Structure 1
Amino acid sequence: MLTGGNRNDVTQLLPLLDKVPAVAGLVGRPRRRPDALLADRGYDHDKYRCLLWQRGIRPVIAERGQPHGSGLGTFRYVVERTISWLHGFRRLRIRWERRDDIHEAFLGLATCLITHRHVQRLVRTA
């Protein structure tokens, strides 16, 4: 989901959760929401915790003023690493495109290239 620049991430939390697609898998109704939401201290607010509980999602949010012993760093590393890989493409580091569809197309191409590189690395080691 693309938003304008200099927007606070927490304002897009609920719209992002609403756009989560159904997950196919086990027999029965497809899942429409995650079991839990892992987030950093920027999302630490009772308002968002309550809204997540109302949707049946368990908030795992690091608390402000507490030491970093939450264990969220092991999960966040994956996200930060992936964003770093995307920033390896100069065109995505700074958004030059005015149109959202063009920017999303470049994001898709970068994702394909990153995936291709990892598959090639796996093939070489196997």
Structure 2
Amino acid sequence: MRHLVLLYSISAADRNDHLELEALVDAVAPVKGPAGWPRRPPRTLHADKGYDHPACRKLLRKRDVLTRIARRGIESATRLGRHRYVVECTLEWVSRFRRLARRYERKAAHFTAFLRLACAVICYRRAVKLDLMIHTNLK
């Protein structure tokens, strides 16, 4: 099972997450499937508690997207489960970069550039680890 971060968004700190969801879902490009199959939008959305809002669930249901959104007051952060673990790991990987843990940049374009650079570094490190695992298993 592959888990990928397909999109990110930067908004003001005082803006609720659920207000950004429709723009995010519409911006996701269709994903390549098996050879010969047409590209299609992702079927599942993993999100944190900021998106636990009836309007979000209704919007995603209308678009036939299966939701895996943590529920406020029901699911604790200590028992994340395997699907929530992917989201939390991704957020934790990005927050390891000191410049992204706290926003020092005044311009959103600068912050976005550092976020893209962090994502590239994370992908590179994962690729090196996977390559190393493959080569050690082949020996």
TM-score, scaled relative to structure 1: 0.75
Q: 1:35 to 1:123 in 2, by over 3 A?
A: closer
What is the Cα-based RMSD across aligned positions, in Å? 2.6
- 1:36-89 Cα offsets, whole Å, 9 max, x none, are 333444434433322222222233444455466xx9621111221121121111
Q: How does 1:1-126 map to 2 (within 5 A)?
A: 1-26=9-34, 27=36, 29-31=38-40, 33-64=41-72, 66=74, 73-125=81-133, 126=136
Cα drift, residue 28 of structure 1: 5.3
- Alignment length (residue pairs): 123
SS at 1:37 equivalent = strand
Aligned partners of 1:67, 1:80: CA distance in 2, in Å? 14
Change (3 A) 1:48 1:112: closer
For CA contacts below 8 A with separation 6 or more, give which structure has more relative contact order. Answer: 2
Q: Aligned letter for 1:108? A: R
Distance 1:120 1:28 in 2: 29
Give 3-state SS (helix, strand or coil) of 1:82's partner.
helix
Q: Which runs of 5+ in 2 are unaligned?
A: 1-8
Verify the 8 A CA contact 1:38 1:72 in the aligned structure 2. Answer: no
Structure 1 runs not aligned, ≥5 long: none
TM-score by length of 2: 0.69
Q: Distance between the aligned counterparts of 2:65 and 2:53, measured in 1?
A: 15
